[in-house]
Amino acid sequence: MTLKRLQTDILILGSGGAGLFAALHAHQSDPSLSITVAVKGLLGKCGCTRMVQGGYNVALAEGDSVERHFMDTIEGSKWLSNQDLAWTLVTGAVERIHELENELGCFFDRNPDGTVHQKAFAGQTFDRTVHKGDLTGIEIINRLAEQVWARGIDRLEEHRAIELIRTADGRAIAGVLMIDMRSGEFVFVQARAVLLATGGGPTMYKYHTPSGDKSCDGLAMALRAGLPLRDMEMVQFHPTGLLAGTGTRMTGTVIEEGLRGAGGYLLNGRNDGSDEPGERFMQHYDARQERATRDIVSRAIYSEMRAGRTSPNGGVYIQMHHLGPDKVRKQFKGMVERCADCGFDLAGGLVEVVPTAHYMMGGVIFEPDCRTVLEGLFAAGEDTGGVHGANRLGGNGVANSTVFGGIAGESMARWLQEHGDWRGPDEAAIRESIAMHEAPFAPAAGEQAQQHGSGDIESIREALFDCMWDDVGILRTAQGLQRAQGRLAELEAELSRIRLRDDLPGGRAFNLSWHDLLNLRSLVTISRVIATAALAREDSRGAHFREDFPETGDLPNSTYTVVRARDARGGNVTGNTAGIEVGDNDSESNSESNGRESQTGDFTLTREPVNFTRVRPGETIL
């Protein structure tokens, strides 16, 4: 076994909006710190922030306010958000958008009078979404990457993080174990502070928006390291993913929300065997029609699909031509070109769409300064839970990443002034993790050294797609969730039996089958967590809808789910996070205090009360 060892003061996992903002703010706070950004792909060329089309929510215009943005966020979350985190989001967005424009050089669309143009997005009471056409994420990431390069911040590109390594006593993080994908070698990076900002990426569903390299690695590592995850049942489906057939990866990619905000119509199919469109249907589901929140529109589309009122590929249609083809081409140039590449005329015709898994509201429990319960580990972006509750408003995602990424950078630099000691790693944990990740290359006990190829991996991937879409998707029932739990356990066992070859030219260097297998391991693990949390929540909130429990429940007594691994090495991390006591769930006192603990297989689940720190259900701060 070859293990390379590196050191850095601050290690940032991920190069999206959260990771790059963290690097810049940490450097600004203390230029003497060594800062390293580790990324699975290439810095500036991968991740979800780059793929953002719609824009960035921020209260700038006359008549709008951070209080109004806050109330939209809380009501959109179905009162499950951590309100201190939501307040940090909406207030920090104002500062961050000015930083993006005035310091980093982003050019956002303007009004004729020179003010920043803000477009309409669903679920909001004010047009507050700042954008660069419909390619906002590229503008933000290009400018951030330029600034990171200019400051000489270190990069570990094509390095895959595989394990958060704690100290031998389990009280703090010592560093991160990685695979250098270019050579296949293992690398341990010792760091005084680590930021988890790998992004979520619900690519375990048949239709999904993130790129295939997004596989919930950060959440899976956090779970194995003993950290608590909250709201994991809350997986957001974007209502309008492009539906271009099974032969293209373009299927599932986002047809942005601004189209519906601008006045686009959703039409069903006729259910008579023809390819002709049917009628607008959103008026049957919500008074806001196409501008209802994403969860409502996704359920409406899925209901039309189940009723057989579909387009030729099994979805529904979006129509824009009634707004004027020239106007559509001007306002949504990127969308028009993307649809044309797949044979659709967005400006003058109809485009087939389907709900597509887009964002994970759940994640690691963290505080407003981005600390977690594990000393030395910080978290920001889609790896975290609590900001969005049960439903994220479109445009709040990139705001979340950039706001909390900047905070994380400042917090780590400040924290290191008082907690700057190097901590030795648990060497046994490193050895165990290497053995686990090398296991696919060793013949399984009692069997011939028969090597299995990517075909086995592909069949498991397709089975995972079907399982999650059918039973842990937009509409859920206890029966379907229990069926999914069993199927996911089978898929996990199948993954453990796959064997790969490293004796061919190239060996483990850029061994895509190996990394596909590791992606699926993470996805199946987090899929099991999603199913566990969804089965436990016996009400319907936001993105989580139980057909057997369709009522919202008692809002003033709202609770959120917390899932922990039962077999985390060194035990689960305990401490006080975000004002909620996150205790050792094997203890009698904690069990008595919440009375809602359950253990299912590999996980322990508790229900924690929502702390309404700023406004209670039925009230407003406006």
Known catalytic residues are 238, 260
Side chain identity, residue 194? V
Taking the CA atoms of residue 25, residue 29, residue 35 and residue 41 in that order, the dihedral angle to the nearest 10 degrees is 0
SS (H, E, C) 204-251: CCCCECCCCCCCCHHHHHHHHCCCCEECCCCEEEEEEEECCCCCCCCC
Sign of CA dihedral 509, 514, 520, 522: negative
Q: Token pair of 470, please?
A: 């059918």
SS3 call for 325: helix
Length of the chain: 622
Task: Give the single-character DSSP code of 167.
Answer: P
- 373, 577 in Cβ contact below 8 A? yes
Q: Token pair of 236, please?
A: 């957001």
* 414-430 exposure pattern, b = at least 16 Cβ within 10 A, e = fewer: ebbeeeeeebebbeebb
Other beta carbons less than 10 A from residue 456's beta carbon: 17
Q: State the pairing for strand pair 350-360/235-242.
A: antiparallel
Q: How far apart are CA 8 and CA 422, in angstroms?
A: 10
Determine the Cα angle at 482 with ends 481 and 483, to 5°. 90
Strand-pair partners of 353? 242, 316
Q: How far apart are CA 310 and CA 317, in angstroms?
A: 8
Q: Token pair of 243, please?
A: 């539906």
Q: How far apart are CA 374 and CA 134, in angstroms?
A: 38
CA 517 to chain centre: 20
- 139, 127 in Cβ contact below 8 A? no
Q: How far apart are CA 37 and CA 217, in angstroms?
A: 16
- Nearest C-alpha neighbor of 403 from the set 9, 42, 140: 140
Q: How far apart are CA 305 and CA 236, in angstroms?
A: 18
Could you tell me if residue 423 is left (phi over 0), alpha (psi between -120 and 50 degrees) or otherwise beta?
beta
- 497, 444 in Cβ contact below 8 A? yes
Q: How far apart are CA 277 and CA 275, in angstroms?
A: 7
Could you tell me if residue 263 is left (phi over 0), alpha (psi between -120 and 50 degrees) or otherwise beta?
left
Radius of gyration of the chain from its Cα atoms, rounded to whole angstroms? 23
Taking the CA atoms of residue 294, residue 295, residue 297 and residue 300 in that order, the dihedral angle to the nearest 10 degrees is 170
Strand-pair partners of 562? 230, 606
Other beta carbons less than 10 A from residue 263's beta carbon: 12
